[in-house]
Amino acid sequence: MIKRFFKHRAVAVITCCCAGILVLSGILNAAVPGGSPIHKITGTIIKPFQVLFSKAFGWVGDLSDSVKNYNALEEDNRKLRDEIHRLEQLNLDAAKYKEENELLRAMLEMNAREREFVLEAAYITGWDDVNWGSLFKINKGENYKIKVGDSVIWGEIFVGTVYKVGPDWAEVTTLIDTMSSVEAVVQRTREHVAATGNFNQMKEGCFRVPHLDTFSDIMVGDRLETSGLGGQGRVPPGLLLGTVVGKATDETGFNIYASVEPFVDLSRLKQVMIVLDFKIVD
């Protein structure tokens, strides 16, 4: 900042003039008697410049102090920013470890009840940006024995089915995807129904139980779980699907369907488990 001050030509010229006048004043003071008219005239002329030069030096000193204070504040701010970044990273790490612990706990609980389950944990790496489906990718594939048709779960909640697979990645269609179809059972009545994806329900974050007959006792609040019969891929029985939130007539105007909200908020998932194999223990 001080260097920029001296880069201005006008300021430099004024400074040089003031310095020259002060030097001239010193020479005259030494050469001319103190009471002479010349001494008085030069004193009168030089005095304002002396005052100006003195103030200028004081201003420069103040400016130098301000620069030092500014630099000190900048350093303090930098340290604070570094500390904030460190704390934010710690929070992110803590959230990640919490999710991992929840997933591991769910895996342990599953294996405690169903010891024949073979599970593989994976991270969700991204969602496919399509308006006709609900798909996400995970960071594991064939190298971890993941196959097309494997069920994808969170704890005891059914999430979807492996749709495509590569060496170190796989693509999963969720239970609200238009291609999804799972055989289900109503917990309250044990009525067997189909749980299918539907474009209109998908936009609401739900899936559909279509073609309900007039004798169906399904009602709002009923909970659905997988039956383990038919459907896509290899789906274990007893996995939670969702809760019935409404009933309506479909687009044809003739058939009744139920709208079902999944037990898990799909958009908030970070990790999932893939069921590599299972055997139901009676």
Alpha helices, DSSP H, located in the chain: 2-7, 9-31, 37-113, 199-202
Q: Using an 8 Å Cβ cutoff, are 185 and 225 in contact? A: yes
Which residues are CB-neighbours of 21 under 8 A, at least 6 positions away? 45, 46, 49
pTM: predicted TM-score of the whole model, two decimal places: 0.62
Domain made up of 118-277: CATH architecture: Beta Barrel (2.40)
pLDDT by 10s per residue, the chain, length 282: 444 544 455 555 556 665 666 565 555 555 555 555 655 565 566 666 556 656 665 665 666 667 677 777 787 788 888 778 777 776 665 665 565 566 556 555 555 454 578 999 999 999 986 778 899 999 999 999 999 999 999 989 999 999 999 999 999 999 999 999 999 999 999 999 999 999 999 999 999 999 998 788 899 999 999 998 865 557 999 999 999 999 999 888 888 999 999 999 998 999 999 999 988 765
- Rounded (10°) CA dihedral 234, 235, 236, 240: 170
Which residue pairs, CB below 8 angstroms and at least 24 apart, start in 204-207?
Answer: 204/259, 205/176, 205/261, 205/262, 205/265, 205/266, 205/267, 206/176, 206/242, 206/245, 206/259, 206/260, 206/261, 206/262, 207/175, 207/176, 207/180, 207/241, 207/242, 207/259, 207/260, 207/262
Break the chain into its structural domains and give their ranges: 2-75, 118-277
As a whole number of angstroms, the distance between CA 136 and CA 126 comes to: 6
